[in-house]
Structure 1
Amino acid sequence: MSGPLLTVDGIGVSFPRKGFRKPPAEVLHDVSVEIAPGECLGLVGESGSGKSTLGRAILGLVRVTRGTITFDGQVISALAPKRRRALSSQLQVVFQDPYSSLNPAMTIEDILTEPLTAAGTGRREARARVAGLLDSVGLSGGAGERLPREFSGGQRQRIAIARALAMSPKLVVCDEPVSALDLSTQARVLELLIDIQERTGVSYLFISHDLAVVRHISHRVAVLYRGEIVETGQGDEVTTEPAHPYTKRLLLAAPVPDPVAQAERRAARRALVA
């Protein structure tokens, strides 16, 4: 396709507030982003900025109060539930917590074959597909016969990635997929995501609060602050030479191993806040 795979155009999302006749609280304000086929868009911001809400709006898990979301040429922001379910094969998600996102009572093979068989794939074909998926994320052998509790956090996240790829989607929403992992495991999972994208051409919306992580994987970056996009641009530019003061504060908040440099960063960040 020549145009964007995903277009988010001026959307707003509001949630009800406690209290008699209080107006809804708007958490996203006129947000607009685009993702091209085969591209990774990094969405970065601090906790409470609305990053996950945007991801959930794209997935149809929260209602959009205004604006439109267009996926693969189809407006999906107001689809009926039945039509939305039919779209799930092309639009998948990897959640933040690899421990709670997998059913502890099911084997890995059952977890991965479930969406395939639900879509009409035969059991034998589904099992062959699962074996290939596990191999593609570095979990070959008898991994399919084991339970989630038998795997480490990094391995569980690899399984979650395999589940997201089972239906060969066009877009995967990665909602803080490495934030619960240690640094060495984060690096391996990021390299896995990059390798999968290069092999399959899948697009990512990669949500994170960490500019260093976003810099490593993203082609372009959008910065979300208090429900608004305040800066967008090429990944290398936004994460090294940001233009907006909020993005500069995010960059300076990232720790560095040099105590002197860290003290200078803290002072620079305090000056920006002031």
Structure 2
Amino acid sequence: MSGVWPEPLPAPAAPPGPRILDIRDLRVSFPGKGWRAPRVEVLHGVSLDIRPGETVGLVGESGSGKTTIGRAVLGLAPVHSGAVEFRGERIDRASARRRRRLSQDLQVIFQDPFASLNPSIPVGETLAEPLHAQGVPGRDARRRVLDLLGRVALPADAAQRLPREFSGGQRQRIAIARALAIGPKLIVCDEPVSALDLTTQRTVLDLLLEIQEQTGVAYLFVSHDLSVVRYMSHRVNVIHRGVIVESGDAEQVTTAPRHPYTQRLLLSAPVADPAAQRDRRAALDRRRAEENT
């Protein structure tokens, strides 16, 4: 469900500081279908950066390449050329062992809170697993699990319950707690609220903002929804067919876009006022007609 916010929300100001993530001229390609088929390039020279404590939004429609960028940052997509640096280190060239070490500082929140948690393992064990992997003793891990549950506004007895006993919003809170377990510096948020209803979306987004204020964690926030991206982000990058077509301050990009593709995204976004919604649809239909002539 796309977010429809009741009023315009000002984008936050970007924090100063050095880059924590630096992506330069990133190109990602996958093998083509069939024998001897050429490789298919899905990212064409993408560049972006993130500072500590900053949220950089990455917005585009399905198939635009936005999730592939997140996967490349996490070491899950093959980098054909370019560079991905995290805290000054080339993670696109890092060994599997080094990537495991980097996982302490680099985490992910997936789109589907129903599929991202093991249904047969109690929540407490899910949260304790990355702590045990880092050598945290059992008593300290249990204390940390209770602290994590409190941070995402879940009761202590949630540790003994299975994921199926929670709502979608509560499961996403558990996924956020798991991402926070070992104190990351950067979290890739891959459409973290798109599977939730509007009220739950706002609650989860506010929780992410509160955690950022408390911990200074940075977010790469991937979404197809301009209103959500504006609410969360300091800066925004718009991606279309594997190319960043517009980037800049979140408020400027999401309210007065310069590129035709971003303008179409803005016109496609739903608004609460029915009259304004009709005007947007009419403007979008006119633009599509012009582009097809």
Shift of 1:272: 2.6
Equivalent of residue 265 in structure 1, options 274, 280, 287: 280
User: 1:161 is matched with which residue?
Assistant: 176
In the alignment, residue 85 of structure 1 is paired with which amino acid?
R
> Gapped runs of 5+ residues in structure 1?
none
- 1:183 paired residue number: 198
DSSP 3-state at the match of 1:231: strand
Alpha-carbon shift at residue 63 of structure 1 (Å): 1.2
Q: Which runs of 5+ in 2 are unaligned?
A: 1-15
Residue number in structure 2 paired with 1:117:
132
Query: How do 1:47-58 and structure 2 match up within 5 A?
Result: 47-58=62-73
Deviation readout 1:46-68 (Å, 9 max, x if unpaired)? 00000111100000011100000
What is the CA-CA distance between 1:2 and the residue it aligns to?
A: 4.3
Greater relative contact order (Cα < 8 A, sep 6+): 2
Write the distance in 2 (CA, Å) between the matches of 1:2 and 1:249: 33
TM-score (norm 1): 0.98
- The aligned amino acid for 2:235 is R
- Residue deviations 1:151-178 (CA, integer Å, cap 9, x gap): 0000000000000000100000000000
1:19 and 2:34 equivalent? yes
In 2 relative to 1, CA 53–36 (structure 1 residues): closer, same or farther, beyond 3 Å?
Answer: same
Give the SS at the match of 1:257.
Answer: coil
Q: Distance in 2 between matches of 1:156 and 1:203?
A: 22
Q: Match of 1:139, as an amino acid?
A: L
- Report the 3-state secondary structure (helix = DSSP H, G, I; strand = E; otherwise coil) of the residue aligned with 1:262: helix
Following the alignment from structure 1 to structure 2, what is the Cα–Cα distance between the partners of residues 251 and 81?
A: 40
Aligned residues: 274
Question: What is the distance in 2 between the residues matched to 1:15 and 1:139?
Answer: 41
CA distance in structure 2 between the partners assigned to 1:102 and 1:150 by the alignment: 12
Q: How does 1:53-64 map to 2 (within 5 A)?
A: 53-64=68-79
CA–CA distance in 2 between the matches of 1:206 and 1:3? 19
Which of 37, 43, 47 is residue 58 of structure 2 equivalent to? 43
> Could you tell me how far apart the structure 1 residues matched to 2:124 and 2:27 are?
39
Alignment counterpart, residue 207 of structure 2, candidates 192, 197, 214: 192
1:106 to 2:121 alignment? yes
**For 1:129-157, what per-residue CA distance to the aligned partner results, in whole angstroms no more than 9, with x for missing partners?**
11001000000231111110000000000
Q: Look up the SS of the partner of 1:38 in the other structure.
A: coil
**Contact 1:245–1:272 at 8 Å: present in 2 too?**
no
Find 1:9's aligned residue among 24, 38, 46.
24
Q: State the alpha-carbon separation in 2 of the partners of residues 11 and 22 from structure 1.
A: 22
Matched with 2:244 is 229
Give the match's secondary structure for 2:93. Answer: coil
Instruction: Provide runs of 4+ in structure 1 moved above 3 Å.
Output: none
> Which residue matches 2:149?
134
